[in-house]
Amino acid sequence: MNTLITKYRIWFIIIPVIITILMIVPLWKAKINSDLMKYLPEHIESKINLERLEKTFGKYDPLVIIFETADVLDKSFLKRMQNINTAMIRQKEFKDVISLFELKYIRGEDGMMLVDPVITKIPETEAAIKNLREEIINNSLVYKLLVSEDFRYTMILVNPEEDISDAKALEIINQILSANKGDENIYLSGLPFLRDEIQKKAIRDLSILFPLGLLIMISFLYLSFREMRGVWLPFTVVIISVALAMGMMPLLHYELNIIAVLIPIMMIAVANNYGVHIIARYQELNALNPRWSMKKIVGETMSVLYIPLILTALTTIFGILGLLVHIMLPAKQMGIVSAAGIAFALILSLFFIPAVMTGQKKGKVKNNFKGDGKSVVDKFMVWAGNVVTKNPLRVIIIFLSVLIIAGTGIFYLKVSINLEKMMPVSHPLRISTQIVNTYFGGTKNISILFEGDILSPDVMHTMDEFEARLETLPEVGSVNSLATVIKTISRALYDPGDDFYNVIPDSREAIAQYIEFYNMSGDPDDFEKMVDFNYTSAILNVQFKAKDMTDFRKVTAFINELINESEYSTLQAGQSLMEKEMSESIIRGQIYSLLFAMSAIALLLGLIFKSFTAGIMGIIPLLFALICNFGLMGWSGFDLDIATSLLSSVAIGIGVDYIIHFFWRIKFELKREKNYKSAIVTTLNTTGRGIAINAFSVIIGFSVLLLSGLTILKTFGLLIIFSLLLCLLCALLLVPAICLIFKPGFLLK
């Protein structure tokens, strides 16, 4: 290898630079996909059902505007609302607008049925306001759906045309709201708002966190090595690896997404690992062999490290590739491009760094490597050596105690089903979600599809029965369908106490006549979101709230029971069901990726050291870190979500490196006829220093995620730091203690 590097030194330097330039170019065409529903594969049931529903009834993905005021029937407020409503209706970019000025009030007058907007004229007197209030209370299509029970909140729902971007729709809405300012508080909600916020924050994170991460990494490397080559060589590897990983996404036709923000941060944390070990070994040999030339030091460094570097890279790659069995598409994509980036970082470390170093002069000695160093890392290594060699059994008992205490938190671990939790607590989306859950029946919506002769009494009575039974669930806020409208029409046509008041007729002709009565005074298009033109398909809408997966499953299971009891109801669909599917896929993805990564790592370690024991010992610290990590999540109330479901593969892939470097060095020391105690002490004072610097550089690299604008990335950053810190402590304390007590045979081979 040394001869090859010397012979083609210039090419090993030039080629990576060319590759970097070529890979940066495609990034200009990359787009951020913030549509979380597209993160799921096409074949999942909830996605197929939703597409089937949208073919008949159109796509309904509204922006929700919530107004908070002392009284929504205040004259000045209603005038502003009317102006806002009129302005939005005039926008060609909006397909539907639902408000108090658009929804209908069905009533009877002088033996006739009248259909008018809820507000036809803004009330000027107290008597008119009182009358309007009573009309709204008696309107089941509006009360508690569009106006809160206490009349403090009301909403406007805007459904943009399908070809209008979220950013454009929000821009128009904000312009209209700005032109009609008042004293009321205004909150935005809905998936389009969430998607737009994700896109903005993802772009902000990519533009700010990556440069900041690089700056932090540079500072840490300089403080660790006190030598510029120890800074700019790993830095260059990181830059080139990031360019390759991110540049692969558009080449593979992957869109940037919320998960893609993690890729450059992970490259900062991981891609410098191999360079760190090379610099650490170079400094060790430079100190211990002052007469050696730079070429000899570099040659000796690479001859000792190239195998452990390759092995650690392979285990990291296999750990990251555990994401390939994850059901979420962004996770799979992250696994592929991250693995490629890490592989390229390894190649650069094996060829680019030595090629550059052989042309440099030796640096000054920074450490004597005799265990009396003054840096924090050196002192920690001395302390670790003393603790492990004096009482290894106590070390193991302490780790077991921590494992039991922390691990019990797993029983409290929950899966996130509320996408708004991606945002900070103070974010307007979180506030609007709380308002909808408290005053409007909930943010979750499911549609039940009915097929057949919709106007037949059997179908109508089935819908009515569904409504009545669903309303018994405490989680359900409202249920409405064409059956709701038919009963509302009956109340307009008949007086209380009449046999036909508030009931569905028992003949198809009577039901059809009700519809005709409505069409004479109202607009037939009012029903387009409830029933198709031929009256062969209809939907029943269920609005509910769910604080966790248990509530969600309770509602969907109840709906499934109803569907199975009826020949007319065929399926349930909606964005909320896709959110549920996403949450359940997180659980499955976590389990699959964990099993794949653990099995792959155990197998690789077994093959590397030709020992089944090595595989088991290698995954013990990884299991310890992951169990404690998920236990911490349970105790602290952190939910398992899109980002934290990636923890297993990432932590395993990175953490196993520390174990391999430790095993490799202690084998080397034991070959020199040292006993276990002295071999462990020497390993900790030399390779242990590189492991610690490596680990802290990774931890510091991920720490920039704590500044992310997205809560889920902040949480991921905190938890991955915790996991890697545990992996480090296991590598420097637990594994040496186990080696000292059990003296595994594979280390002596």
DSSP assignment string, 317-374:
HHHHGGGGG-SSHHHHHHHHHHHHHHHHHHHIIIIIHHHHHTTSPPPPP----SS---
**Mean residue pLDDT across the chain:** 85
Q: What is the mean pLDDT of residues 546-567?
A: 90
Within a domain: residue 354?
Answer: yes
Task: Give the CA angle between residues 568, 574, 580 to the nearest 5°.
Answer: 115
Residue where a domain stops, chosen among 130, 158, 189: 189
What amino acid occupies position 12? F
Confidence (pLDDT) at 463 = 94
Confidence (pLDDT) at 247 = 84
What DSSP string runs through 489-525?
Answer: HHHHHS-TTSTTTTS--SSHHHHHHHHHHHHHHS-GG
Q: What is the mean pLDDT of residues 569-579?
A: 87
Same domain? 409 vs 440? no
Question: Is it the case that residue 28 has pLDDT exceeding 80?
Answer: no
Within a domain: residue 569?
Answer: no
Measure CA of the first residue to CA of the last residue in the chain; give whole Å: 25
Q: Which residue has the higher pLDDT, 208 or 461?
A: 461
The band of 382, judged by pLDDT with boundaries at 50, 70 and 90, is confident
Same domain? 591 vs 709? yes
Structure tokens at 606: 């077994």
Confidence (pLDDT) at 519 = 83
Confidence (pLDDT) at 260 = 77
Closest CA to 617 of 716, 723, 746: 746
The band of 694, judged by pLDDT with boundaries at 50, 70 and 90, is confident
Within a domain: residue 57?
Answer: no
Answer whether 0.85 is exceeded by the pTM.
no
Same domain? 203 vs 350? yes
Q: What is the mean pLDDT of residues 667-689?
A: 84
Same domain? 279 vs 338? yes
H helix runs in 610-675, sequence order: 612-636, 647-671
Within a domain: residue 288?
Answer: yes
Closest CA to 357 of 1, 3, 5: 5
The band of 8, judged by pLDDT with boundaries at 50, 70 and 90, is low
Within a domain: residue 554?
Answer: no
Same domain? 15 vs 67? no
The band of 232, judged by pLDDT with boundaries at 50, 70 and 90, is confident
When mean pLDDT is compared across 39-48, 432-441, 558-567, 715-724, the lowest value belongs to 39-48
The band of 204, judged by pLDDT with boundaries at 50, 70 and 90, is confident
Q: What is the mean pLDDT of residues 358-375?
A: 65
Q: What is the mean pLDDT of residues 721-747?
A: 89
The band of 29, judged by pLDDT with boundaries at 50, 70 and 90, is low
Compute CA distances 29 → 33, 248, 403, whole Å.
13, 12, 47
Q: In this structure, is the dihedral angle defined by the CA atoms of residues 631, 634, 636 and 638, taken in order, positive or negative?
A: positive
Same domain? 317 vs 409? yes
Residue where a domain stops, chosen among 128, 161, 189: 189
Range of the domain at 737: 2-38+196-417+580-747
Confidence (pLDDT) at 363 = 67
The band of 179, judged by pLDDT with boundaries at 50, 70 and 90, is very high
**CATH classification of the domain holding 350:** 1.20.1640.10
Same domain? 678 vs 614? yes
Confidence (pLDDT) at 3 = 63
Q: Name the most confidently modeled range: 104-108, 174-178, 408-412, 528-532.
A: 174-178
Those residues whose C-beta lies under 8 Å from the C-beta of residue 682, and which sit 6 or more positions away, are 669, 674
Those residues whose C-beta lies under 8 Å from the C-beta of residue 585, and which sit 6 or more positions away, are 40, 44, 326, 327, 328
Same domain? 635 vs 682? yes
**What does the alpha-carbon distance between residue 691 and residue 214 come to, in Å, rounded to a whole number?**
20
Question: Is it the case that residue 368 has pLDDT exceeding 60?
Answer: no
Same domain? 456 vs 505? yes
Question: Is it the case that residue 103 has pLDDT exceeding 80?
Answer: yes
Confidence (pLDDT) at 452 = 92
Number of domains in the chain: 3
Same domain? 24 vs 6? yes
Structure tokens at 336: 């592929």
The band of 720, judged by pLDDT with boundaries at 50, 70 and 90, is confident
Structure tokens at 573: 């669909």
Q: What is the mean pLDDT of residues 442-462?
A: 93
**What does the alpha-carbon distance between residue 721 and residue 701 come to, in Å, rounded to a whole number?**
9
Same domain? 311 vs 376? yes
| pLDDT, tens digit (0-9, with 9 covering 90-100), for 284-341 | 888 888 888 888 888 888 888 888 888 888 888 887 887 887 777 888 888 898 899 9
Same domain? 633 vs 669? yes
Confidence (pLDDT) at 310 = 87
**What does the alpha-carbon distance between residue 419 and residue 191 come to, in Å, rounded to a whole number?**
9
| pLDDT, tens digit (0-9, with 9 covering 90-100), for 492-502 | 888 888 888 88
Closest CA to 699 of 625, 639, 635: 625
Paired residues of 68 in beta bridges: 153, 185
Confidence (pLDDT) at 156 = 94
Confidence (pLDDT) at 540 = 94
Within a domain: residue 564?
Answer: no
Confidence (pLDDT) at 72 = 93
Within a domain: residue 565?
Answer: no
Residue where a domain stops, chosen among 166, 189, 212: 189
Within a domain: residue 345?
Answer: yes
